[in-house]
Chain A
Amino acid sequence: MKTKNLIKRTAAALLAAAVLLLAPVEAVQAEELPYDTYNYNYREDIVITPAAYVPNGSVTGLSVGTTDFKEPQDFCVAPDGLIYVADTGNNRIVVLNHEMTEVVREIAAFDRNGTEDTFNAPYGVCVSENMELYVADSNNRRIVVLTPEGEFIKIVDNPQSEILDDNFDFIPLKVTVDYADRIYAIVKNAFEGILVFESSGDFTGYFGTIEVKITLWEKFWRRLASKEERSKSQLYIPTEFTGIDVDDGGFIYASNIDSEGVQAVRRLNPQGKDVIQKGENGNVGGDIRIGVYGDYSGPSQITDVVYRDKGIYSLLDRRRGRIFTYDKEGNLLYIFGGVGTQEGTFNVPVAIEAIDGEIIVLDAYYGAILRFSETRYGALINEAVGLRFDGDETEAIDKWQEVLRLDANNELANTGIGKAYLTAGDNRLAMEYLELGMNRKYYSIAWKRYRNELLAKNMNIIMSVVVVLIILLVVYKKWRKKKKNGKEGKEVKEVKEGGLI
């Protein structure tokens, strides 16, 4: 059913595209975009939306005045606005200025207590709030901590603990640091979760383990299988984390590849418990409608996550090159991006960051940073969600109204306006907008209040009508009884006449 619908939608989208192509110049921007911009509505159908972000050029090694990047795997934006790129294939860290026009410095080697040391495939990079540079030096099996200028501070390696295997291979891939300088590292083949280190470099334990889900059906087959068969069958191991980021409150956002496409990101509290909100659709896994066959089928493969601002975070999908943005409640705000060879499309997107209202994505194949700047549509949504996050719902109304002007069917905008009217006490208007926003929960609240209002206002009339009706009913019954008594003889006769035919 879903595939069928998908085919239908695609056909509709193609038709729309054809119409757009035929239409005169006004729709130029939408036409020029190398990717689809859409969202999912309440019924999980695809709805084409205006673009929230449009391509804004790309940055390569050559364009900033150095040699080309070779399979860069990660980058990060430092608190002072500089951009640190882990140029994995060239074994160096390249620091770009805020505008991404030139190289500030390159860190290829550092002075470690008198001896010169180098990186070997630096895979992940992160700058802490205290301006310390953390590099996941994967093939050297260590995390190197430097000053932003490249002075050596310390090295974190060889974690010691009872819970680690004897032949545990410490290959850090991604690293991030919270406000207390705790180090969170995603390590290759560490399925138990994220490795956490104290600021001193001592290993404290695993964090945010993904639980394995075994369906009843799989359990049934395992029950039937013999021991030999079971040993040969696939192991049920959790998926690895792919990307990691930390928000202002010290909550860790960690993405993983979910084979069911339901939850591809976790928001982990300091205890390592997942506290993410999944929104109306109960889904924070990227695409909801997915094809069944072909290269671009299957659930989204989320490779990285970036926490942006005011509870908004974005996920990067490797499979179809899409960027999904959610708010704190887990509502999908907008989707854009795609795989391709045109400017503004990806081949192997690996990392995503946000900088001054721009979203930047690192592509390992092109060795380039692709920039996307927000449109008015995207900016309005970001602002409105931000205002709601701050509790300024009434102020958000104006923003949402403008969003509606650009995208009349935006459920989020309708719901946002409805909620604001609800808080303001205008239940009638709230109901109208909440129904357009297909929000059952808040519509019910508004309707209940409005119902009570109506009842309270019209109690006199309702009660009078009820009393009058009761009196009328009694009178009618008496009258009918009288009539029946008078007519009884006649009716009996009629029935007899109408007898067997």
Chain B
Amino acid sequence: MANIMEIQNVSKIYGPLKALQDVSLSVPPGQWLAIMGPSGSGKTTLMNIIGCLDTPSLGEVILDGVRLSSLKPGELTTIRREAIGLIFQQFHLVSYLTALENVMMAQFYHSLVDEGEAMEALERVGLSDRARHLPRQLSGGEQQRVCIARALINHPKLLLADEPTGNLDEINEKLVMDILHKLRGGGSTIVLVTHAPEVAAHADRVIVLEHGKLAEDRLNERGGDAGPLAAAGLAESEGEVGGAKMAS
């Protein structure tokens, strides 16, 4: 099966600073990939590039068969709208819209608004009874679950989660991770950025960035859960660790 995402020798350079250096990576459909690394290692930069929020200085990103370097900003927006679901550490819910309306907003910018479908998305994250509440009336964990429902509403091919549990307590962290597990079980491809090893442990595969370079690429011991898709993704890649090409 074709990889849902191919990153080929990607670098991101800001003047003298090299945020990413020659990173290559393949992710097959259905894989849960965790990106780890210390602050400033390039995790967020890589996520922004994968999420079409930023473009690489060098190299190529192929998302679902589409070469992103050949696209104009407007076309990148379309890819982001059609193929990517975003989950943020700070939730980023619109404060004057209810939980339901926040989910519907993603529908609005994608295609047509369907309140029933938005309500189902909230049901999937266990928040149907809080649908008419404003973000300030929800706990952090509930807000993050609304954020997940919003990310899922347009059935994205790739779910990008940036430190999704970074602002949550233990109970809410577990709730969110359970949801991600369910999504993974349903065949969703997840790329999760975290600096917490216990969160990364849930993923099929973990890559570690250091100073913008790919320092480590490994399958988790529970990689068996990842199934043949993850294995296939790694098998297709070159490199020292399971298939990812090491930049250094």
Does A pair with B?
no
User: What is A's interface to B at a CB cutoff of 8 Å?
Assistant: none
